[in-house]
């Protein structure tokens, strides 16, 4: 793990985003030791031991992403600054074309920023090459997509351990078992994705995202294809991962109910952060959306 | 609707390119083969029309049939020339002789022709024939020769040089007084030509006072048919007058017959290309249509009828197939050139002329490309037409690999029928054996292709098992290879067919080697063998003078000479017959006489091998009716039966006197020598070296060298066949590339997901590569299994022909499998690169 000062996110208070003070507060209240012996400490980076040194999970500094060139260029992300502290569940909302998915892709190292910087932990993602970004995604990032989350030729279990198998790393068996128990997939582990329901598939994806104890989980409309009950189950699972193991999750969604599970909601419009809610309920979110409509 | 069809064609450039590529290759290889065979045939047709230019009628001895071993005619008395000249309407007539004459080049080596004859002919001015003196003048007297322009060019000879020539007599020096050509052509289909004046030629070719032919030009005003009739009335019995166009046709046919082996090989190759090409076209188009199921479902949801969808697919197929087939025809020309070069690399130089494109080639090529593509498109099109729109929109690709009982039963029946036909061809005495064997094999292949998807999954699972343990890429590769068994099977099928044939040929060749060596080791006592080198073409033979000179050597004890000829058996079938001095032969080899006595052969009659006697249904004491080309029908008493046919080289054996009486101009084919008692081998070898120096065209081999030569000849044959099949394998490999590229395209989202969760580019590449290797190795293994079966069947069938030992070249077969794996890696290069370079975001946004 690199620990260079210049790779640290900026110290000054970002334009949008959750402040450091709030985070520290939250951290102390939400973090619990896992139940039973099966779920060890989720903070590999030593954040618990050194809470003052590496508390930022994801950060963006003057992040800009343009598509196309010259006159036809479109700024999907237009100078975003944010810091997402460890152990929080953040939702990003905004109308179609607001740049929320693009921002997520850039933060996750799936895409390059046109200008500015982005960080995961103390690694500057925007400065990494393709190979390093792949390794970063494999080792430090978990993904949940809206659909097509699972490799169809691998069983549920193989899908869950896929990132670790790719890294030729031995999965933490107890942790994986704990996750599987939590998402109630015990009797489905040998099944192929095509034999699983949509809700089960998303739960497998969630288990995979958490299985390698990533620095951060990015979820792109994870409940978009689920009915409200399955959606709520999945969100509760994610919430639990944050509350019980200090997992950091960034979720893009346009569903106010889904967003209400988050610790904070960041609203984007035209590639900029326009609003931010702490500990929102559904009504607050709906009101904000209404206010932001032109 | 039609707009949709046309848009569909151009919307996906990669798919379009790959489909078209499959058609272009399939059509290209088939037309290439046709173009090459047609070109060869046309070349010889034209050649002999050119050669007979200026001559209207040939007067020559009758022959019962045209032998493939060169001149089989008696000569005529030269006094006949005067009579012919007196016939009304004859403008000019000249006698000519033709025979064996071998130039020795400036390095002292014989001028090689790659199988074409080395001819010595006589010169005449009138009638004005096809042969033009381009430089210098005509030959006069016993020391002058005119050389063909091609040999002069290749050997750096000029007018005024001297050149050494071997004829039926010892080698001699001649002065080159002229260079000749045939119109624009520098030589005759690769043959070398030494032109002497008539008397010299008669002397050198041992035809004093005789003529092989009298070449007649008619007066301009004379009706040629009348002249022919008048000449026929004049000539004595046993002599005929023939129109020159008939002679040209006859000579062309003879050469084509001698080249029949290549034509057959090339046509078999065309058939294999067609078969393999069909698979690739079929496979590619099926995949492409299946991939577009969603698009069709959308059209259906918007109100298009099933019939319209099907029509759209078929029109698209027609469009692609039409354009690609035309491109394939063009590619065929290039491929014909490549094949020609390949044959050249194996010592078979084909005369270079313009490539011939017959209407038949165009029709077959276009029909093949279009028909196969349409057939390939119909199945998926019907599926697309029938699909419930919402289901397709929801699930996307349908990849059902279900098999109807009917398909399986039909495939099984086809296989059985194929085996029966194959066995009939191999084991029963039927005409057109090759036809039976070929169609039997084809049916077996078709049937296997039908059931292959059934067991392809299981085979791939087994083959891929070791790969499956090689980390995530290996595991995914293995799973992907069994994902769509039908597609995997179709992809591997081309390789399967190719390797089945390669396997068959390898086993056949290896068994042939083993059997020949066994026979030679056990039964040939000769210390040395003497023969002319010569790859595939008929060996040019040994001047009888050589045997005489060797007999003079004190170091050599006995000399057994073998001569080769052809005579006609029932059903117009030609058979090779061997002539030998039996006393000499039995001293150098054990032919294993089982009935009668070899000694009686000296008094006339014939000996048969056991199998031949069986086939002919005659026993010792009976008579065998045969037809000789030069001397006509004869009834020969059967005086004995021998067991060792492989050693004799034929099932028919004549005494030397009988042979010579029926084959004018016969030369020795091979000499078997034993060293005189008490003489060290080195001394004998040294003495023979002296002979070899004077006759550079012969090779004298001791036992070990002789064995090596047999093996190397068989290897050369094997090499040629393998090289041809190797081209079919190129198609197979491109087929794998094609399917993989489409699969990568199809799995874009999946690849994107894998890359998103951390699969490195290297891992993505190795995943595709390993899948390719699994498919290739699977095709190779199944193919070789079939090849071993075919090889066994073939060797069993040929047991009576002297191939008695079944030998399976295990190491070679293992090398083929390794080669297939390598081919798999090669095939995967581009698809793997594509998979690795995939833009992760595009892939995720793909659906």
Nearest to A148 among B483, B749, B755 (CB): B749
B-chain residues near A162 (CB < 8 A): 472, 754, 757
A-chain residues near B472 (CB < 8 A): 162, 165-166
B-chain residues near A154 (CB < 8 A): 475-476, 479
Question: Distance (Å, rounded) from C-alpha B606 to C-alpha B598?
Answer: 9
Burial class (CB within 10 angstroms; exposed 0-12, middle 13-18, buried 19+) of B386: exposed
Question: With an 8 Å Cβ cutoff, are B758 and A131 in contact?
Answer: no
pLDDT the model gives residue B131: 83
Question: Distance (Å, rounded) from C-alpha B267 to C-alpha B275?
Answer: 12
Q: What is the pLDDT of residues B5-60, one digit of tens each?
A: 566 656 667 767 777 887 887 788 888 888 888 887 777 777 777 778 888 899 98
Residue to substitute from B394, B484, B756, interface A, most A β-carbons within 10 A: B756
pLDDT the model gives residue B394: 53
Neighbouring-strand partners of residue A58: A84, A120
Q: Dig out the tokens for B457 from the structure.
A: 């999954």
pLDDT the model gives residue B178: 93
Cα radius of gyration rounded to whole Å, chain B = 32
Question: With an 8 Å Cβ cutoff, are B750 and A152 in contact?
Answer: yes
Question: Distance (Å, rounded) from C-alpha B534 to C-alpha B101?
Answer: 15
Buried b (16+ CB within 10 A) or exposed e, B704-714: eebbeebeebb
Going by the DSSP 8-state scheme, the letter that residue B843 receives in this structure is H
CA-based nearest distance B372→chain A, Å: 32
Closest residue of chain B to A164, computed from CA coordinates: B758
Question: With an 8 Å Cβ cutoff, are B479 and A208 in contact?
Answer: no
What's the N-to-C CA distance of chain B in angstroms? 24
Question: With an 8 Å Cβ cutoff, are B761 and A130 in contact?
Answer: yes
CA-based nearest distance A109→chain B, Å: 9
B-chain residues near A147 (CB < 8 A): 847
Phi-psi group of B668: left, alpha or beta (phi > 0 → left; psi -120 to 50 → alpha; rest → beta): beta
* Positions in chain B short of pLDDT 70: 1-12, 15, 66-72, 113-116, 189, 258-264, 267, 270, 274, 343-353, 387-404, 428-434, 533-540, 570-572, 799-802, 843-847
Nearest to A166 among B483, B763, B841 (CB): B763
CA-based nearest distance A137→chain B, Å: 5
pLDDT the model gives residue B12: 66
Question: Distance (Å, rounded) from C-alpha B318 to C-alpha B312?
Answer: 10
Spell out which chain A residues touch chain B, with contact meaning CB-CB distance below 8 angstroms.
105, 108, 110-111, 130-131, 134-135, 137-139, 141, 143, 145, 147-154, 158, 162-163, 165-168, 208
DSSP B338-355: HHHHHHHHTT-PPPP-PP
State phi, psi for B299 to the nearest 5 degrees: -60, -40
Residue to substitute from B472, B483, B757, interface A, most A β-carbons within 10 A: B757
pLDDT the model gives residue B235: 86
Closest residue of chain A to B753, computed from CA coordinates: A149
Q: Dig out the tokens for A248 from the structure.
A: 């950091």
The reply to whether ipTM tops 0.85 is: no
pTM (two decimals): 0.73
Residue to substitute from A101, A109, A110, interface B, most B β-carbons within 10 A: A110
What is the full per-residue pLDDT of chain A (294 aa) written as tens digits? Answer: 333 444 444 444 444 444 433 433 333 333 334 444 333 444 333 333 444 444 889 999 999 998 887 778 888 888 899 999 999 999 999 888 888 888 998 998 888 889 999 999 888 998 988 888 888 988 899 999 888 788 888 999 999 999 999 888 888 889 999 899 888 888 889 999 888 888 899 899 999 999 988 989 999 989 888 888 889 989 999 999 999 888 999 999 989 999 999 999 999 988 899 888 888 889 989 998 888 876
Question: With an 8 Å Cβ cutoff, are B472 and A162 in contact?
Answer: yes
A-chain residues near B475 (CB < 8 A): 154, 158, 165
pLDDT the model gives residue A238: 92
Nearest to B758 among A130, A134, A147 (CB): A134
CB pairs under 8 A between A and B: 68
DSSP B296-310: HHHHHHTT--HHHHH
CA-based nearest distance B835→chain A, Å: 15
């Amino acid at each position: 793990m690199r620990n260079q000062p210049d790779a640290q996110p900026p110290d000054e208070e970002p334009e949008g985003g959750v402040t450091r003070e709030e985070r520290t507060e939250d951290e102390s209240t939400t973090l619990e030791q896992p139940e039973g012996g099966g779920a060890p400490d989720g903070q590999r980076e030593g954040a618990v031991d050194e809470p003052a040194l590496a508390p930022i999970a994801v950060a963006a500094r003057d992040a800009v992403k343009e598509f196309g060139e010259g006159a036809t260029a479109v700024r999907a992300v237009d100078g975003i600054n944010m810091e997402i502290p460890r152990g929080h569940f953040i939702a990003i909302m905004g109308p179609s074309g607001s740049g929320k998915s693009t921002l997520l892709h850039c933060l996750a190292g799936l895409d390059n920023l046109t200008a500015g910087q982005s960080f995961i932990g103390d690694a500057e993602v925007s400065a990494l090459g393709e190979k390093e970004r792949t390794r970063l995604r494999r080792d430090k990032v978990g993904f949940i997509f809206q659909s097509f989350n699972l490799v169809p030729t691998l069983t549920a279990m193989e899908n869950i351990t896929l990132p670790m198998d790719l890294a030729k790393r031995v999965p933490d068996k107890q942790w994986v078992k704990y996750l599987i128990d939590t998402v109630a997939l015990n009797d489905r582990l040998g099944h192929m994705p095509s034999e699983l329901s949509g809700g089960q598939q998303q739960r497998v994806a969630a288990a995979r995202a958490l299985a390698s104890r990533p620095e951060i989980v990015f979820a792109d409309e994870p409940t978009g294809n689920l009915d409200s009950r399955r959606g709520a189950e999945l969100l509760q699972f994610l919430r639990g991962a944050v509350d019980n193991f200090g997992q950091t999750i960034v979720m893009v969604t346009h569903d106010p109910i889904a967003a209400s599970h988050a610790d904070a909601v960041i609203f984007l419009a035209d590639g900029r952060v326009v609003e931010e809610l702490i500990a929102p309920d559904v009504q607050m979110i709906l009101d904000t959306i209404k206010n932001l409509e032109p | 609707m039609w707009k949709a069809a046309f848009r569909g064609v151009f919307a996906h450039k990669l798919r379009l390119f790959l489909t078209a590529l499959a058609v272009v290759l399939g059509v290209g290889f088939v037309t290439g083969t046709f173009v090459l065979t047609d070109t060869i045939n046309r070349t010889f047709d034209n050649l002999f029309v050119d050669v007979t230019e200026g001559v209207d009628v040939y007067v020559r001895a009758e022959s019962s049939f045209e032998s493939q071993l060169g001149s089989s005619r008696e000569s005529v008395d030269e006094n006949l020339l005067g009579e012919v000249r007196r016939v009304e309407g004859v403008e000019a007539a000249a006698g000519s002789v033709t025979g064996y004459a071998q130039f020795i080049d400036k390095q002292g080596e014989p001028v090689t022709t790659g199988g074409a004859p080395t001819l010595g002919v006589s010169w005449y001015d009138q009638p004005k024939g096809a042969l033009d003196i381009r430089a210098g003048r005509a030959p006069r007297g016993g020391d002058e020769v005119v050389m063909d322009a091609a040999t002069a060019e290749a050997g750096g000879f000029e007018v005024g040089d001297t050149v050494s020539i071997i004829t039926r007599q010892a080698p001699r020096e001649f002065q080159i007084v002229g260079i000749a050509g045939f119109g624009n052509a520098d030589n005759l289909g690769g043959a070398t030509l030494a032109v002497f004046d008539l008397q010299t030629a008669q002397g050198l070719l041992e035809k004093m006072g005789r003529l092989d032919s009298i070449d007649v030009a008619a007066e301009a005003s004379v009706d040629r048919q009348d002249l022919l009739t008048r000449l026929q009335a004049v000539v004595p019995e046993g002599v005929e007058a023939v129109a020159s166009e008939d002679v040209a046709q006859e000579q062309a046919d003879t050469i084509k017959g001698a080249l029949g082996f290549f034509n057959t090989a090339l046509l078999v190759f065309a058939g294999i290309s067609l078969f393999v090409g069909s698979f690739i076209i079929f496979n590619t188009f099926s995949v492409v249509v299946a991939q577009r199921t969603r698009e069709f479902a959308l059209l259906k949801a918007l109100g298009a009828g099933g019939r319209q969808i099907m029509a759209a697919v078929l029109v698209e197929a027609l469009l692609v197939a039409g354009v690609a087939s035309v491109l394939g025809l063009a590619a065929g020309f290039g491929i014909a050139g490549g094949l020609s070069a390949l044959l050249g690399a194996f010592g078979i130089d084909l005369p270079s002329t313009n490539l011939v494109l017959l209407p038949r080639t165009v029709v077959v090529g276009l029909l093949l490309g279009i028909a196969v593509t349409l057939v390939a498109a119909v199945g998926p099109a019907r599926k697309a037409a029938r699909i419930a729109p919402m289901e397709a929109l929801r699930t996307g690709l349908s990849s059902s690999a279900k098999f109807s009982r009917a398909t399986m039963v039909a495939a099984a029946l086809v296989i059985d029928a194929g085996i029966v036909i194959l066995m009939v061809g191999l084991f029963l005495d039927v005409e057109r054996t090759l036809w039976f064997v070929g169609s039997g094999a084809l049916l077996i292949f078709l049937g296997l292709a039908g059931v292959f998807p059934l067991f392809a999954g299981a085979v791939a699972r087994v083959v891929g098992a070791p790969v499956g343990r090689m980390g995530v890429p290996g595991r995914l590769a293995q799973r992907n290879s069994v994902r769509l068994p039908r597609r995997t099977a179709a992809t591997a099928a081309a390789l399967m067919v190719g390797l089945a044939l390669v396997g068959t040929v390898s086993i056949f060749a290896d068994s042939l080697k083993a059997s020949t060596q066994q026979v030679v080791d056990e039964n040939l006592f000769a210390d040395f063998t003497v023969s002319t080198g010569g790859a595939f073409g008929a060996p040019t033979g040994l001047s009888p003078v050589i045997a005489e000179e060797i007999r003079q050597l004190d170091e050599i004890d006995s000399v057994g000479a073998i001569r080769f000829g052809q005579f006609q058996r029932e059903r117009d079938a030609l058979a090779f017959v061997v002539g030998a001095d039996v006393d000499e032969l039995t001293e150098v080899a054990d032919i294993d006489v089982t009935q009668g006595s070899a000694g009686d052969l000296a008094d006339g009659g014939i000996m048969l091998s056991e199998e031949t006697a069986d086939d002919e249904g005659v026993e010792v004491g009976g008579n065998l009716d045969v037809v000789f080309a030069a001397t006509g029908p004869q009834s020969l008493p059967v005086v004995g039966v021998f067991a060792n046919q492989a050693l004799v080289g034929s099932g028919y054996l004549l005494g030397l006197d009988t042979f010579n009486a029926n084959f004018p101009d016969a030369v020795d084919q091979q000499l078997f020598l034993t060293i005189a008692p008490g003489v060290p081998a080195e001394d004998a070898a040294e003495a023979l070296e002296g002979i070899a120096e004077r006759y550079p065209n012969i090779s004298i081999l001791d036992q070990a060298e002789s064995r090596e030569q047999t093996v190397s000849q068989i290897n050369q044959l094997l090499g040629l066949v393998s090289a041809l099949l190797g081209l079919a394998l190129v198609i197979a490999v491109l087929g794998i590339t094609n399917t993989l590229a489409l699969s990568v395209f199809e799995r874009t989202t999946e690849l994107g997901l894998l890359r998103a969760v951390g699969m490195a580019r290297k891992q993505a590449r190795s995943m595709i590569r390993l899948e390719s290797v699994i498919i290739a190795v699977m095709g190779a293994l199944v193919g070789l299994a079939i090849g071993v079966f075919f090889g066994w069947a073939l060797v069993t069938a040929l047991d009576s022909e002297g191939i008695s030992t079944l030998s399976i070249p295990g190491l070679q077969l293992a090398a083929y499998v390794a080669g297939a794996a390598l081919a798999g890696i090669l095939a995967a290069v581009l698809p793997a690169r594509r998979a690795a370079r995939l833009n992760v975001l595009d892939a995720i946004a793909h659906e």
